[in-house]
Amino acid sequence: MAVALSRASDATEDLAIMAGAAVLGTLTIPGRADQVRTAREFVSTALGELDDVTDTAVLLTSELVTNAVRHSRSSGPGGSVLVVVLEIADGIRVEVTDNGSATSAPVVKGDTYASDGHGLFLVQTMARQWGFLRGLAGTTVWFQLGRARPGIPGRRPGGRTRHSPARPSQHRLAARLG
């Protein structure tokens, strides 16, 4: 059986962007609503106060993790959600992967009178780019945010690298949050 993959952006462009990416952290959480706060804290800590996009990234991550918990198999027994934070040449990228769904692909609802369903509308409105990849193992929804002060992946203002003592490594970060 062929695997159907769909993406909201050009795959070639994605590969070029990801080639120079630096992983700032990864977190796997149980697929429960009470874990959305953990995902927000993780993204905030991974990006730190030095990033001018942290607040937006935290908000959009919260929306995507909430969607993963509400609309996928991640909320079932043993289900989980994976959050990955990457630094790319001109900003950041956050990916949220769930355990998949039998329903359709992620849908943006722009109806302002709807009582729910505004999460992907926020992502579409606030992110520089966003997209998704559906496969047999699950769905990954991602977004990218640009920075007012672009830098080199893995470098921070003031010459510090992302592994300097002033910034926790992803292993210490995972231990603090887990």
pLDDT single digits (tens) 96-155: 999 988 776 666 666 555 555 567 888 999 999 999 998 888 999 999 999 755 554 444
- Which residues neighbour 104 within 8 Å (Cβ) at sequence distance 6 or greater? none
Q: What's at 37, amino acid-wise?
A: R
**What is this structure's pTM?**
0.72
The SS3 assignment for 19 reads: helix
Cα–Cα dist 167/141, whole Å: 27
pLDDT tens, residue by residue, 136-145:
889 999 999 9
